[in-house]
Amino acid sequence: MTSVAEHLEAVLAQISPVPARTVPLSRAHGLVLAEDVTSPVDLPRFANSAMDGYAVRAREIAGVTPEEPRVLPVLGDIPAGDGRALTHRDFHAWRILTGAPVPDGADAVVRVEDTDGHPREVMITRAVEVGANVRAAGEDVRAGSVILSAGTRIGPAQVAVLASAGVAEVRATGQLSVVVLSTGDELVPVGEPVGPGQIHDSNGPMLIALARAAGHFAVHGGHLPDDEKAIKAEIEHHLGHADLVITSGGVSKGGSYDAVKSVLTGAGSMEFTEVDMQPGKPQGFGLLGRRKVPVFTLPGNPVSVLVSFEVFVRPALAALAGQRYEAVTLPAVVLEGWSSPEGRQQYHRVRLSRDTSGAYAVAPVGGPGSHLVGGLALADGLAVVPAEVTDVATGSRVSVLPLRPLGEIEADLAQEQDRTGSGQQERG
């Protein structure tokens, strides 16, 4: 048998990042830069006003106070976007708006609040320093300097600096094309009626949601019968374009109903492995086809699928997309113990709360069966129980792999604490 860590290592050893693509900025959000980006321009591009006010030469209003104001003739208005090449005239002012270019020779802006606001002859009641209320050209970013380095994830602020610098395209990786295939004679797509003995496919929609939430482009390649020929043909078709293929079902023992395992055994670098984990023991992974596309063949039970995604597929997707990744776990106190099989790393569905000291606390939710999607949907996370532990005692500590965004979990816990006044064991 293979440990979780060994299997993950074997998977990651076979993965290299997909080549970077040139992406328009409008589609770059969420991707990771493949190379440094330098700014072709200064930012700000030109000296401009930080305030609505009057552009002046500071020394021409030196010593001015409310008691000893100075009146300057106003040469005109400069709104934002004004493209005229304007210059200062001695002992004059321009009325200027926020973001408008400061005229050549003017070196400060007096805020409108420190004047009488007159459009033709302005009375100024306060002196300013050179540079006051002026955003200098290049004070933020110098032309030719690196604004974002390779490996940076492009979030909203990074989009803003790229747009400001006029960078319309970037070389980036990150949005992978993920194909999800569900296998099983019993499966019917949701929205279609199920006959006797049939069930709706839930792994397909769940895997698509997981891949999309991880920032990728996921499509459902279809529902395949337990038929070796059909499965082979469909997988081969997707090897031509996918960055990653994920199948579910059909891998337990390799008998006549485990068509995925039968058909892929010996193909490419495919290996079928029994991993010391619960749930999710039967795992398959390998590179297939001329493009050496990574293929995960996950077990069929929905809880096993989710656990396998979190433990193996998510880190593999990150590696493939050239992203840095580390699973985040939360330390928690066990409020209500449970047992764990000998020699297998267990991923136990739990709900989170807080104990009286404010630390995270967990209790099991739903039953242990890996077909129980109702309970799965109520879980905040998976408690990770090491292989050697068989009894997870009340009061002991576990690490929890969150299944929902941390901010959302925190908000729920805070709301609960407000409602109950404590938060401990009040949930559910």
Which residues contact ligand AMP by CB under 6 A?
A: 182, 184, 186-187, 199, 201-204, 248-252, 299-302, 371
Q: Which does 364 bind (CB under 5 to 8 A by kind): ligand AMP, Mg ion, none?
A: none
CB of 223 to ligand AMP, least distance (A): 8
Nearer to ligand AMP, 60 or 201 (CB): 201
Token pair of 143, please? 């032309």
Q: Shortest gap between Cβ of 300 and ligand AMP (angstroms)?
A: 2
Backbone torsions φ then ψ of 362, nearest 5 degrees: -130, 150
Minimum separation from the CB atom of position 140 to Mg ion (A):
58
Q: How far is the CB of 182 from ligand AMP (least distance, A)?
A: 4
Nearer to ligand AMP, 30 or 254 (CB): 254
For the chain, the C-alpha Rg in angstroms (whole number) is: 31
Return the range that interacts with Mg ion (CB under 5 A); candidates 153-161, 167-175, 295-303, 308-316: 295-303
Q: What is the DSSP string of 314-380?
A: HHHHHHHTT-------EEEEESS-EE--TTSEEEEEEEEEE-TTS-EEEEE-S-S-TT-HHHHHH-S
- Comparison of 186 and 416: residue with beta carbon closer to Mg ion: 186
Asked if 282 contacts 254 with a C-beta cutoff of 8 angstroms, the reply is no
Pair 169, 23: CB distance under 8 Å: yes
Judged by beta carbon distances under 5 to 8 A according to partner kind, the member of Mg ion, ligand AMP, none in contact with residue 52 is none
Distance CA(316)–CA(322), nearest Å, equals 10
CA distance 390 to 384: 12
String of contacts with Mg ion for each residue 141-180, x by CB under 5 A? ----------------------------------------
Residues 93, 173: Cα–Cα separation, whole Å: 51
Rounded to 5 degrees, φ, ψ at 61 are: -125, 25
* Residue 340 touches which of Mg ion, ligand AMP, none (Cβ within 5-8 Å per kind): none
Task: Tell me which of ligand AMP, Mg ion, none is bound by residue 179, counting a contact when its beta carbon lies within the kind-specific cut-off of 5 to 8 angstroms.
Answer: none
Q: Please name the residues in contact with 336: beta carbons below 8 A apart, sequence gap of 6 or more.
A: 363, 364, 394
Among residues 247 and 345, whose Cβ is nearest to Mg ion? 247
Cβ nearer to Mg ion, comparing 249 with 282: 249
The span of 75-83, 86-94, 281-289, 300-308 binding Mg ion (CB under 5 A) equals: 300-308
Which residue number is nearest to ligand AMP in terms of Cβ? 300
Cα dihedral 327→333→339→344 (10° resolution):
20
Structure tokens at 371: 């077909």
User: Taking CB under 5 A as the rule, does residue 282 contact Mg ion?
Assistant: no
Peptide bond into 24 cis (omega under 30): no
Candidates 290, 309, 288, 289; CA nearest to 298 is: 309
- Binding-site member from 53, 101, 204, 249 for Mg ion (CB under 5 A): 249
Q: Strands, E, within 186-309: which ranges?
A: 187-188, 199-200, 217-224, 244-248, 271-274, 277-278, 282-288, 293-298
| Residue 221's binding partner out of ligand AMP, Mg ion, none, with CB under 5 to 8 Å set by partner kind | none
Question: Minimum Å distance from CB 157 to Mg ion?
Answer: 46
Q: Which residue of 101, 103, 174, 184 would you call a contact of Mg ion, by CB under 5 A?
A: 184
Binding site for Mg ion (CB under 5 A): 184, 249-250, 300
